[in-house]
Chain A
Amino acid sequence: MEAEAAQWLRGLFSIHHREAGNNHATKVREVGLLIGEMAGVEQESLEFSWRVLTEGTPAEGAVLKVRRVPLVGRCAKCGREFHIEHYDFWCPVCKDGVLKTISGREMQVEYLEVD
């Protein structure tokens, strides 16, 4: 699990590094993340690793602002959208319709707040 967190953070860090560099930022204040309900990201471990990784960089002390994205599916049969409860991907109305995930798997950097 730790290795995954590390890889995850490398991805996050390289996006932040590139974007901040492209915009000639000297200090990163805040990083906005979009994390889906089914992304399996543990916020406390993320924040801990982020602190360690950014030490001594322009992002040291930057706040991670996490916006959770609900797990939503659209029924392939009736087209209605539902919040998926208890990971039940059957349509609650059609019963035999299948919900296709339309949000809730995100792991994205949404924005950077820089000086």
Chain B
Amino acid sequence: MEIKVIKNILGENDRFAAENRAMFAEKGVFVVNFMGSPGAGKTSVLEKTMERLKGELSMAVIEGDLFTSKDAERIDRHGVPVIQINTAGGCHLDANMVQKTVREMDLAALDLLVVENVGNLVCPAEFALGEDARAVVLSVTEGDDKPMKYPLMFKESEIALINKIDLAPYCNFNCASAKEDISMLHPGIEIAELSCTTGEGVDVWCDWLRRGVVAKKAEVRA
């Protein structure tokens, strides 16, 4: 006997993500799923972001990590509320983990929630968390071929940050080629060249966050 099914295998995650999305919409908080390889500089970018947006936006961070709380400690030093999720070996965050975590947060008091995913260019792209937008960090030390090697991550992101741009001359990183590939995968994506050492490009990224926050608040009022 054949039973017709047609069900999404990740349907359960999608259900949790939809619940999260509704909760974030109700509270008017702009939520970013922040992704990239281990060592791409995700936490460093967040540190710069916190410095820049301090006193302007009310922000909180969820830190996804396999085992440690090293990144959460770095965030905590900036006086920004941070909650750690340890996936105990899991290579990505899922919507259920995020839902359990945000229950401990005062979402209504926030403008911006950044969820730093586990360092990985593959799996996090498959799991919606209920976010408004995805952002991917690619550092020049990883090589300009990464967008085409990990297409889904770039396809699914609204903004790509090319980090450690001050090191580009030493890394044989063809920035034009990387940008062309990213734009081919996702026509219209925003791309910012950025360095946490020199501060270059941090404003472009922060402006993108500001616009997201404003758009989200407008949505809630409408």
The answer on A and B forming one complex is yes
Closest to A88 in B: B184
Check A107 against B8 for contact (C-beta < 8 Å): yes
Q: Is A114 an interface residue (CB 8 A)?
A: yes
Chain B interface SS verdict (over half): mixed
Neighbouring B residues of A98 by C-beta, 8 Å: 187-188
Check B1 against A89 for contact (C-beta < 8 Å): no
Check A109 against B187 for contact (C-beta < 8 Å): no
Separation of A7 and B186 alpha carbons in the complex (Å): 27
Given A12-B9, A87-B184, A89-B185: A111 touches B3 (CB 8 Å cut-off): yes
Q: Is B46 an interface residue (CB 8 A)?
A: no
Q: Which of B1-17 contact A (CB under 8 A)?
A: 1-13
A to B contact number (C-beta, < 8 Å): 96
Neighbouring A residues of B94 by C-beta, 8 Å: 7
Separation of A11 and B2 alpha carbons in the complex (Å): 20
Q: Is B164 an interface residue (CB 8 A)?
A: no
Separation of A32 and B187 alpha carbons in the complex (Å): 34
Partner of B87, one of A3, A12, A110: A3
Q: Is A1 an interface residue (CB 8 A)?
A: yes
Separation of A40 and B126 alpha carbons in the complex (Å): 9
Closest Cβ–Cβ distance, residue B104 to chain A (whole Å)? 23
Q: Is B216 an interface residue (CB 8 A)?
A: no
Given A4-B92, A11-B12, A107-B10: A112 touches B2 (CB 8 Å cut-off): yes
Closest to B3 in A: A112
Neighbouring B residues of A2 by C-beta, 8 Å: 91
Check B10 against A11 for contact (C-beta < 8 Å): yes
Check B91 against A87 for contact (C-beta < 8 Å): no
Interface residues of B (CB under 8 A from A): 1-13, 87, 89-92, 94, 122-123, 125-127, 148, 151-152, 155, 184-188
Which 4 A-B residue pairs are closest in the complex by CB-CB distance?
Answer: A4-B123, A3-B90, A11-B9, A98-B187
Interface residues of A (CB under 8 A from B): 1-4, 7-8, 11-12, 14-15, 19-20, 23, 25, 32, 34, 38, 40, 86-90, 98, 107-115
User: Could you jot down 14 A-B contacts, CB within 8 Å?
Assistant: A3-B87, A4-B123, A11-B8, A11-B11, A19-B5, A23-B1, A23-B3, A40-B152, A107-B9, A108-B5, A108-B6, A109-B6, A111-B3, A114-B1
